[in-house]
Amino acid sequence: MAKIGILGCDSTTRSMNCVMIGCFGNLREKKGSFADYPKDEPLNLIGIIHCGGCPTAVGADGIWQKVKALTDYGIDSLHLTSCLVQICPFKDEFIKTIRKDFPQLNIVEGTHPFHDIDAFKKGIRELVSQRAVPPQRMNDLVFKKIKIASDDKMD
Ligand code: SF4
Query: What was the pLDDT predicted at 86?
Result: 95
Name the residue of 23, 82, 90, 97 whose CB sits within 8 Å of the most ligand 1 atoms, as the mutation to test its pocket: 90
- Give the count of beta carbons closer than 10 Å to the beta carbon of residue 7: 23
Is any atom of ligand 1 closer than 6 Å to the C-beta of 90?
yes
Residue 113's contacts (CB-CB under 8 Å, 6 or more residues apart) are 26, 31, 32, 82
Q: What is the mean pLDDT of residues 54-74?
A: 93
**Residues 77/104, Cβ–Cβ less than 8 Å:** no
What does the CA dihedral 38, 26, 12, 49 come to, rounded to 10 degrees? -40
**Residues 32/113, Cβ–Cβ less than 8 Å:** yes
Is any atom of ligand 1 closer than 6 Å to the C-beta of 10?
yes
Report the alpha-carbon distance of residue 111 to residue 135 in Å, rounded.
Answer: 30
pTM over 0.85: yes
**Mean pLDDT for the chain overall:** 94
Nearest to 47 by CA among 5, 79, 107, 18: 5
Q: What is the mean pLDDT of residues 85-101?
A: 96
Is any atom of ligand 1 closer than 6 Å to the C-beta of 88?
yes
| Domain 2-142 bears CATH identifier 3.40.50.2300 | yes
Is any atom of ligand 1 closer than 6 Å to the C-beta of 51?
yes
Comparing 16-20, 97-101, 148-152, which segment has the lowest mean pLDDT?
148-152
Q: What percent of the chain has pLDDT over 70?
A: 97
| Interval 101-137: pLDDT, tens | 999 999 999 999 998 999 999 999 999 999 999 999 9
How do the domains of the chain map onto residue ranges?
2-142
Q: Given a cut of 90, is residue 155 above it in pLDDT?
A: no
